[in-house]
Amino acid sequence: MRINKLYAIVSLIIVPVMAAGFIATAGAETIKLTYANFFPPFHVQSQLAESWCKEVEKRTGGAVKIDYYPGGTLSKAPQIYDNVEMGVADIGMTVLAYSRGRFPVLGAVDLPMGYTSGVVATKVANAVLEKFNPKEVQDTKVMFLHAHGPGYINTVSKAVHNMEDMKGLKIRSTGMSTILVKALGGTPVAQSMGDAYQSLQKGVVDGSAHPLEANKGWKLGEVLKYCIAENSVAYTTNMIVTMNKSKWNSLSPEIQKTISEINAEWAVKHGEAWDQIDVEGRNFIVDRGNEVITLSPEESLKWKNAVRPSLDEYAEDLNKKGLPGSEIVQFIMDSIKQLQ
């Protein structure tokens, strides 16, 4: 009888934890981690990151708890990767393009190859990570990548219907959007998203390269009038969620497995979220009376042909560094075609 009662008590303790997908080690000390993110707390990508933290705690039965720091409060975006590597933060989300040239393989994902959605861009980014396993990110443990939807040229006061209209325009750019702007005859001006609003408002730049979501999420649609929605040369910006390698290695195989399962689910969620907020960003500018410009088929082909040499040049630069540049660029192109 006593044995049966003991069994019943133990079952009451273990079953709920098993339901969460993880059996916590009895008496084990709670593992406390920190997560640094540059996205402000109200941004959907920040909210998803916070929900990832809560899901890890839930599925590990409370064995892992994560303190979440959005809005650059623990680390600013350009330093997040280094700070994760050094252990200042245990986990971090940042934009790889903020460290131009440091991540050449994954940087190729951002090239203006004609993305049509965040779901596609996210799948391509993770496919490149899995296939090429680039050395550039092996000093941390990558959780997953995600990437925004098609990046477009947006202007304040001049409607752009052809490449001639792009000449002389100063366009705020980051990462591979600079390649797009240059190829089309504009002048890229390197600026973070946080500086974009004032630069556009004060006329420091004539436009900005960004996805539709930024029109609402960063309020850029308030100071812009035109969006050139040209998918044939749309770029993306892929973001990394990564963890300090020593901290990852200190976790039990069970916890690692649980987190890996969550990673696969959240990569999809982030990609889908990019597309949802793109819809909101487009509605935001349309409701304000901003014009969304569609190029003619002939002009679209011109833009695509103008950008192609830059893609080949990037591939050749990787080849010279001993990396399979041509294979990487072709893999990305093929993946986009297959997924769209």
pLDDT tens by residue, 200-244 = 999 999 999 999 999 998 899 999 999 999 999 999 999 999 999
Percent of the chain with pLDDT over 70: 92
| Same domain? 207 vs 333 | yes
Comparing 340 with 259, the larger pLDDT belongs to 259
Determine what percent of the chain is predicted with pLDDT higher than 90. 86
Q: Does residue 17 form part of some domain?
A: no
Q: Is 77 contained in some domain?
A: yes
**Whether residue 196 sits in one domain with residue 96:** no
**Does the structure show a pLDDT above 60 at 6?**
no
Tell me the three state secondary structure of residue 27.
Answer: coil
Longest distance between any two alpha carbons in the chain, whole Å: 88
- Of residues 53, 50, 94, the one with CA closest to residue 240: 94
Are 158 and 89 contained in the same domain? no
Instruction: Confirm if 240 and 94 have CB atoms less than 8 A apart.
Output: yes
Buried b (16+ CB within 10 A) or exposed e, 82-107: bbbbeebbbbbbbbbbbbeeebbbbb
Q: Does 296 fall in a domain?
A: yes
Do 166 and 127 share a structural domain? Answer: no
Same domain, 142 and 155: no
Nearest to 297 by CA among 245, 231, 238: 231
Band of pLDDT at residue 21, cut at 50, 70 and 90: very low
Residue 268, pLDDT score: 98
CA distances from 243 to 1, 82, 267, 307 (A): 49, 11, 15, 35
Q: Do 86 and 184 belong to one domain?
A: no
| Type of residue numbered 110 | D
Residues 217 and 69 both lie in one domain: no
* Range 293-300 average pLDDT: 97
- Whether residue 142 sits in one domain with residue 195: no
172, 265: one domain = no
The reply to whether 7 falls in a domain is no
In the chain, the DSSP E strands lie at: 31-37, 64-69, 91-95, 140-147, 151-155, 170-173, 187-190, 207-211, 226-228, 238-244, 291-293
Per the domain annotation, does 132 fall within a domain? yes
Q: Are residues 114 and 219 both part of a single domain?
A: no
**So what's the pLDDT on residue 31?**
98
170 pLDDT more than 90: yes
> Mean pLDDT in the chain?
92
Pair 205, 250 in one domain? no
pTM, to two decimals: 0.89
| CATH code where residue 307 lies | 3.40.190.170
Contact 12, 19 (CB under 8 A): no
- Between 42 and 50, the more confident residue is 50
Question: Is residue 217, in this structure, part of any structural domain at all?
Answer: yes
Q: What is the mean pLDDT of residues 264-289?
A: 98
Kindly tell me if the per-residue pLDDT of 3 is higher than 50. Answer: no
Side-chain half-sphere exposure of 13, counting CA atoms within 13 A = 10
- Would residue 14 count as lying in a domain? no
Place of tokens 């005859």: 185
109: closest CA among 332, 336, 337, 334?
Answer: 332
Q: Which of 221, 200, 203 is nearest to 292 (CA)?
A: 221
Q: Please check the confidence at residue 114 and state whether its pLDDT lies above 90.
A: yes
Task: Name the residue range of residue 95's domain.
Answer: 28-147+237-278
Q: Would 322 be classed as within a structural domain?
A: yes
Q: What is the pLDDT of residue 27?
A: 52
Number of structural domains the chain divides into: 2
d(C-alpha 12, C-alpha 17), whole Å: 9
Give 194's pLDDT tier (boundaries 50, 70, 90): confident
Residues 103, 143: one domain? yes
